[in-house]
Amino acid sequence: MPMGTPRVHAAPLVEMGPPLTPEEIRRYSRHLLMPQIGEEGQRRLRNARVCVVGAGGLGTPVLLYLAAAGVGRMGIVDDDRVDASNLQRQVIHGAADVGRLKVDSALDSVHRIDPSLDVVVHPVRLSVANVDEVLGDYDLVIDGTDNFPTRYLINDSCVRLGLPLVWGSIFQFDAQVSVFWGRPPAGSGVPPVQLRDLFPSPPPAGSVPSCAEGGVLGALCGQVGAVMATEAVKLITGAGSALLGRVLVLDGLESRWTQIPLVGGVVRMFAADPSEDVLGEACWVGAGSPGPRVPTLTAQQLKERLANSSADGAEWLLVDVREAGERTIVTIPGATAVPLGSILDGSGLEAIPRDRQVVLYCRSGVRSEQAAVSLLAAGYGDVAHLSGGVLAWIDEVDPSLTRY
């Protein structure tokens, strides 16, 4: 551990619940043997209320291990449905669950471990209008989400509510884990620290690829999620030193864990404004896409244009700005591949004639808009992009293609 990296020993987060039953003593005997947990710690776990946001790659191992640990009440927040592409890493779901709400599938898996657990499902999309209400009923929040707007939404709510937050992030072979507590109880001795001390503001939309765009190693989700579950148990029981003021960084390819210190700043609280949905695509895409709005085509309009094109398509050019791995999964026929990075740095412009209309597409429309703005800035005169990207094409034109 680097010199100066703090160790924070927080008091147990949760009061002890009722005495354990004989059945619970048998079930949790391996915890009871550990002096850092023991009977008192197990009673705290049984009395704890933990909200896991996201029943996906990171939420999966967290939910399974906290259920096995005996956390008395578990909230599961997710408005998504199980997709076949989830099964590579989200092991709480099975093939028979494809199409079901993730919260329902996760509920069944948790109850297979322990039917006595109180599980509350929230099949909702978090927004500024509901986040405080959803999270406010819990002692601890665990962020297993996969997008920046939701991460900051959760962080800001936890600061307002004074709740600790176990946070994890994963991409391909890399991961980060930390514990935030932006407004700990007065006199607790816990220095305030939050996500905005690590990353003050979200990156521009499209500047950081998502797991859906760049991929993620399924087994790494289990490794990182288990660390997150361990931090939750430590916070609840008061065992050891939590990752407060520390960020654990994993390089999975090199099998190397590194800790870096994180110093909290002045407590900053962002008020929730129910009149604004910070997860809305318009405000998020707009915030990361400087310059003029780019003309768009719907999937149906692009289909009609492709059908009416001449044999060689000489009057216009369809450009796929995604990465090579994405193109192996699904493509729109007739597209020329020019990755976003090569458009932004100029190295790919030779493949895009200036005398033709250019229509760009990506997975969801974020990167194609960014590419279009870059082309317009480079002097291209007739540029548009596919609204909703290849996902819209699949939904509206060809459902037989593979989503990812």
Coil/strand/helix, residue 368: helix
Active site residue 221: no
Coil/strand/helix, residue 138: coil
80-88 contact pairs (CB < 8 A, 24+): 80/55, 80/56, 83/403, 85/402, 85/403, 85/404, 86/56, 88/218
Q: Report which of 134, 189, 132 is spatially closest to residue 162, judged by C-alpha positions.
A: 132
Distances (CA, A) of 355 to 77, 171, 374, 376: 49, 38, 16, 13
Neighbour tally for 298: CB within 10 Å: 15
Active site residue 211: yes
Catalytic residue among 51, 158, 221, 362: 362
Catalytic residue among 158, 211, 221, 283: 211
Token code pair at residue 275: 């009149």
Bridge partners for 248 per DSSP: 177, 259
193 touches 263 (CB < 8 A)? yes
CA-to-CA distance for 380 and 387, rounded, in angstroms?
Answer: 19
CA-to-CA distance for 304 and 307, rounded, in angstroms?
Answer: 5
CA-to-CA distance for 72 and 63, rounded, in angstroms?
Answer: 12
Token code pair at residue 186: 């007065």
Torsions phi, psi for 311 (to 5 deg): -55, -40
Helices 59-69 and 102-113, axial angle in degrees (round to 10): 30
Q: What is the DSSP letter of 50?
A: E
Bridge partners for 168 per DSSP: 177
Give the residue numbers annotated as catalytic, written as ranges. Answer: 211, 362
